[in-house]
Structure 1
């Protein structure tokens, strides 16, 4: 069965049919979903989803674009949630230089603090890096992120950067972007990296694959990503599903 390693089912785009959609996943061969915190609010939402659905796990953390909301008091609250059952990662954390806000020094401060939290709790990291390739990698090396490992979410860099992360023992999260015609660089990365380093993700409700590009995404669309990986790897779909299921369970230590 398929595991969606990065979803945002607490997003308001699912408000009308969330329960129905989630309950339909099992019969469509989706075994587990990991819902990802991206702010204090969405981390709280993730904890609620974990309690409501036995097949939903969670990651807690604050996305770089939301780090201005962090202070010592609410970071202490975040730390308290780490011991909750079914919390399997710290994320999504990292750097995002696409926008000018928040200030890069604020992003770096809280990226470092959240990496330290992952190391303290021995939980893997879910890394977000957008237009910040060098700084992300440099900070991860300085923080010795390889001690706990994790996944580079929505990997968007080239083969050279992929090699750096593979050498650190990280997985690469592959989703709908792989199916886009203009994703030449990502297709090269997927051809290059070993199958035992790939995990499937949607980032839903965003980044729907072709043929549903532009529409609301869900775990049901992972079949199109699997098809494209199978084509690039010259393997059958069952091999891709079996390998990525094993990888996801090893990444998040799900037994």
Structure 2
């Protein structure tokens, strides 16, 4: 087994919570601990542009672009046109995070549906995978993905919180299942049970920094370095070697995003 290189498949280095010095320190600290690849997803136009800037400036950092359901109000045709142009950049590797959020009452469901569907169509047009945000909207997420033919491009179920049955439906549509900090929580029985069952070819790990910090740092701001604790927990749950989880989840992320690790000789 080679070195335990990790890929944080979902990390908001573009968050307003982080300044330039924070980002610099987090990337260097993560790389010192072999977290050498990071996907930065957008959630509105500003954060998508910031994700692109980070990917342009840092080898091993990649961008996703998209409009989060909580930011879907006021979406215009010009925004979709801009996303389409950004999608041509070589370090833009996915559309996301997009989806549905029923927890926060900020955007009417009809608006969320329209923006979600249009971005799935855009992903199919530009031939990029989709990163799905799903909060308390499991049935509608699966239904819309099926209706819009999202299987054509596939993608990632970010920070998966659904049932095993939902996971199977998503995998049938070529979606990988990604686990974040909640899988390390003591009361997270359902994510842990699902994490035990996911076929290895569909398994990913992520931090969702600065949110959802895993044990043992729960309650503090999250950062890419902490993806190792999620991988360690999954290794424990599945009775696997940590090194194998690192290798498998990194290879899966590279496959879905169609990238190669620039630090393989590190």
Q: Normalising by structure 2, report the TM-score.
A: 0.93
Preserved CA contact (<8 Å) 2:14 2:42: no
Partner of 1:75: 80
Q: Does residue 52 of structure 1 match 2:47?
A: no
Structure 1 segments, 4+ long, off by >6 Å, are none
Structure 2 runs not aligned, ≥5 long? 261-266
CA distance in 2, matches of 1:69, 1:235: 47
Match of 1:14 among 14, 18, 22: 18
Q: Which residue of 1 aligns with 2:234?
A: 229
Is residue 177 of structure 1 aligned with residue 188 of structure 2? no
Structure 1 segments unaligned to the other structure (5+ residues):
none
Q: Report 1:1-150 matches (<5 A).
A: 1-15=5-19, 16-150=21-155
Query: Normalising by the residue count of structure 1, what TM-score does the alignment of the two structures yield?
Result: 0.97
d(CA) in 1 for partners of 2:161, 2:22: 31
Q: CA RMSD in A?
A: 1.0
- For residue 55 of structure 1, report the CA deviation from its aligned partner: 1.5
Aligned residues: 255
Measure how far apart 1:244 and its partner are.
Answer: 0.5
User: Which residue number in structure 2 is paired with residue 238 of structure 1?
Assistant: 243
Q: What is the SS of the residue equivalent to 2:17?
A: helix
CA contact (8 A) 2:84 2:126 kept: no
2:215 aligns with 210
Between the aligned partners of 1:12 and 1:140, the Cα distance in structure 2 is 30
CA displacement 1:189-216 (0-9 Å, x = unmatched): 0111112211111100000101100101
